[in-house]
Chains A and B, each alone.
Chain A
């Protein structure tokens, strides 16, 4: 009996890092064709394409990709949702299949960011000769550095510090130890941009970007792509047993934006929308945080990882510091978090991230994660945040076949 479940049939990520000899289309094509091959299908089987490349958001990127790998005339959705772009592309394909418009869809995310510096607040125009109020706040000169900071390491530093002010227990060293964990995890991941173990002393002694985030505590700009093929339950049942065995059930696919909270337009509130997404995802999947064998969450900065332990309800409210201190989030802990190395070490090619973290979970559920395999993993959660804000949460389960 067919259900309205949606499955991931094929999924892949390219190695993250420097790909000097490849452009965004090369990387996206590698991921898209890789995901199709992984699922044992072709472009001709796809009924929808959702594509994201944040640095190419006005370039009809999806159609450019079709012109390299297959112009089949299917609808293309070019999506942009900050760092949640990949998850949004995947969710777009899922919605199309769920709506019954087609029985298979392809989602692709790609970015080339090697060598990029600060991605916002990175270029301030000079002061004008004559002061004239401009914009919604009547500013007479640019405000970055004059009224707070616009750089992401600084914004997310404050988000971690705010948690510390509310619940206590945070310190520079605590945040650095979260980064130490992720850099340690990445040593087992051949797909990570950086695979070197870093000691606590190295992390704390590295270049300070925005206290308490030093450089290795920030997400790593790099090149990479990821893609996934989704399929309806009805269609999956017509495919081979091997395809059914390797398929992953999308038990929850949720996207939220930030609801109004006091102060949220002064310092972005990444907490409420994540908690809302998590609540909906657990409800939709019928699983609880205790059921999760692994979690890939959006550690765009070490300070962000801490607050998301709480937002995803992996720990009691206010208990994120104790939860981390218990060792729970190391790969041998009760809830391994970011065994891929996370954005801090695996890297963060923005639009690829929201599919790459789902690939990581999928690969463990398939038992194909090699040296970093979490043994016996059956259920996993992937989370992304795009500042502005968008939050994607997906829960995957191993096939029962």
Chain B
């Protein structure tokens, strides 16, 4: 079996894939990615926080026109995962306004992004509708 790497370092793979934020130990603000300090309170101590894998779409757009190499159409969304805002694409849903709506319940799933020359597969994430 070939090796896998996450698309971004805040995606944790394994049996229960989920996102992991850097949470400020002083004020609780959550960030994705490497930090110098907290944008909310300027604190410098962070702990890893697992993000809920189910959430609600609080904003979306269906991108029909993008840079060469970006497959369109696709749905970009802002998902409220139990109080933490997460950006990602909606997947396994028709990218049209009849099938995507504000307030829809979604859950995190992993997706295959591609395989590099060494045979390593990159695994990304998206959100699919909860039946």
Query: Is A60 close to B, CB under 8 A?
Result: no
Q: Which of A118-139 contact B (CB under 8 A)?
A: 118, 121-124, 126-131, 133, 135-139
Size category of the binding interface on chain B:
35 or more
Asked if B76 contacts A141 (CB within 8 A), the reply is no
Query: Is A262 close to B, CB under 8 A?
Result: yes
Query: Is A239 close to B, CB under 8 A?
Result: no
Query: Is B107 close to A, CB under 8 A?
Result: no
Query: Is B1 close to A, CB under 8 A?
Result: no
Interface centre among B33, B76, B84, B97 (most CB of A within 10 A): B76
Asked if B124 contacts A145 (CB within 8 A), the reply is no
A57 to B120, CA, bound (A): 41
Interface centre among A128, A130, A141, A164 (most CB of B within 10 A): A141
Asked if B89 contacts A144 (CB within 8 A), the reply is no
Asked if B65 contacts A207 (CB within 8 A), the reply is yes
Asked if A148 contacts B87 (CB within 8 A), the reply is yes
Measured CB to CB, the closest approach of chain B to A273, in angstroms, equals: 14
Interface centre among B32, B63, B122 (most CB of A within 10 A): B63
Asked if A211 contacts B117 (CB within 8 A), the reply is no
Q: Which of B5, B66, B70, B89 contacts A131 (CB 8 A)?
A: B5
Q: Which of B40-63 contact A (CB under 8 A)?
A: 40, 57-63
Measured CB to CB, the closest approach of chain A to B121, in angstroms, equals: 9
List chain A residues, Cβ under 8 A from B69: 124, 126
Asked if A140 contacts B5 (CB within 8 A), the reply is yes
Between A and B, 22 residue pairs with Cβ closer than 8 Å are A118-B65, A121-B70, A131-B120, A137-B9, A138-B9, A144-B67, A144-B70, A145-B70, A147-B88, A147-B89, A148-B89, A149-B61, A149-B66, A149-B76, A158-B61, A158-B76, A161-B59, A165-B59, A207-B65, A260-B29, A266-B87, A267-B87
B interface list, Cβ under 8 A from A:
5-10, 29-34, 39-40, 57-72, 74, 76-78, 83-89, 97, 102-103, 113-114, 116-118, 120, 122, 124-125
Q: Closest 5 interchain pairs by CB?
A: A263-B85, A138-B9, A145-B70, A157-B61, A162-B59
> Known contacts A122-B67, A143-B8; can you find 19 more A-B pairs with CB under 8 A?
A121-B67, A124-B70, A127-B114, A130-B120, A133-B5, A136-B34, A137-B32, A138-B34, A146-B7, A146-B124, A162-B58, A165-B58, A166-B58, A208-B62, A209-B64, A211-B64, A262-B83, A263-B85, A267-B78
